[in-house]
A and B are shown apart, each in its own frame.
Chain A
Amino acid sequence: MKDVMELLRAKEQELLKVRRQVEALRVALPLLRAEDDSQATGMAPVPRGTGQVENT
């Protein structure tokens, strides 16, 4: 059986990690939403640097 102090410390670290991941997702969420909105209004999506060039 693991020592309870060690176990709780590890649990706390895990919790911190999850909190950081949630924060990162909160930052990414508005960016994804903006992309979705632009598709819904029929606007061309922002190029993603794929190197494709349109013929004029």
Chain B
Amino acid sequence: MAWFKRESGELDNSGAKTVRTEGLWVKCESCRQIIWKKDLEENLNVCPKCGKHFRIDARTRLALLLDENQYETMDGNLSSTDPLKFVDLKRYSQRLRQAQHDTGLKDAVINAQGKLLGRPVVVSVMEYAFIGGSMGAVVGEMITRGVERALESKSPLIIVSASGGARMMEGVVSLMQLAKISAALARLDEAKVPYISVMTDPTTGGVTASFAMLGDLNIAEPGALIGFAGPRVIEQTIRQKLPAGFQRSEFLLEHGMLDAVVPRQELKPYIARALEFMVA
């Protein structure tokens, strides 16, 4: 008698036994270490090995800054009309539809009103995944509405920037937003309502040239790229090699362009403490 008996029929290899490992691990660009994605997320998307701050989306940022379930989003119904009917490699309208589908947003910013460690605040958070967080008419209008809401309610304003600059597909309309937002911020300043600007990777172009640098307190995350023109353009213009770390937040802090570089884990208590000083 045999100890083992071969069963008739083919082995079934389908479905349930397959283990997918794709997307479970992330390679840190900075230290080249492989990190378990869950570990990274638990550490607020900061590399636990070297402290590199990975980019996070606008919704995650809001959840990170505002007290749980104590905020409401607003102005989310505004959408670009493609005023120039712009076409480059693709139609702008097509790019917009794709970005709206990918992010679930109408444009590159979320406006919210809520509480930060119990203190009412108005927050605008930019979404880099939406056409590079570029600022067109809608982003300009939404940020202006955020400023006006802060002015009306006398609540401090926090803008979290993540942007490649003005949206080229909207031409001069996007450049007009720089002046529009700056004018609204001047009114906020006159009313003595505090404004804290948080710059994340990357904050460049027209956004840096307007509201990102106009805060009563300008702070940035570690290692964030912050500048107006890119380093390659500057090198070609001035015909000089730029120093190491140029346009990174630590370099800007050292040269007086920023007030502080604050790690993501400390951002919320840091802002709360700043507001304690400003509102008192």
Q: Which one of B13-21, B108-116, B258-266 is at the A interface?
A: B258-266
Cβ of B260 and Cβ of A8 under 8 Å apart?
A: no
A11 to B261: give the CA distance in the assembly, Å: 16
Which residues of B are found within 8 Å of A4, using beta-carbon distances?
217, 260, 270, 273-274, 277
- A1-18 residues with Cβ-Cβ distance < 8 A to B are 1-2, 4-5, 7-9, 11
Residue of B whose beta carbon sits closest to that of A2: B260
A17 to B94: give the CA distance in the assembly, Å: 52
Q: In this assembly, does B176 line the interface, its C-beta being within 8 Å of a C-beta of chain A? A: no
Secondary structure dominating the interface of A: helix
Given A8-B274, A8-B278: A1 touches B259 (CB 8 Å cut-off): no
Cβ of B260 and Cβ of A5 under 8 Å apart?
A: no
Q: Which bracket fits the contact residues of B?
A: 10 to 19
A5 to B273: give the CA distance in the assembly, Å: 7
The 5 closest A-B pairs by CB, nearest first: A4-B274, A8-B277, A4-B273, A5-B277, A4-B270
Secondary structure dominating the interface of B: helix
Which residues of B are found within 8 Å of A1, using beta-carbon distances?
260-262, 266
What is the CB-to-nearest-CB distance from B253 to chain A, in angstroms, rounded to a whole number?
10
Which residues of B are found within 8 Å of A7, using beta-carbon distances?
217, 259-260
Which residues of A are found within 8 Å of B273, using beta-carbon distances?
4-5
A8 to B218: give the CA distance in the assembly, Å: 11
A7 to B215: give the CA distance in the assembly, Å: 14
Q: Give per-residue flags for B227-258: 1 if the beta carbon is below 8 A from chain A beta carbons, else 0.
A: 00000000000000000000000000000000
Residue of A whose beta carbon sits closest to that of B272: A4
What is the CB-to-nearest-CB distance from A12 to chain B, in angstroms, rounded to a whole number?
9
Chosen A-B contacts, 23 in total, with CB atoms closer than 8 Å, are: A1-B260, A1-B261, A1-B262, A1-B266, A2-B260, A4-B217, A4-B260, A4-B270, A4-B273, A4-B274, A4-B277, A5-B273, A5-B277, A7-B217, A7-B259, A7-B260, A8-B217, A8-B274, A8-B277, A8-B278, A9-B277, A11-B217, A11-B259
A4 to B274: give the CA distance in the assembly, Å: 6
Which residues of A are found within 8 Å of B262, using beta-carbon distances?
1
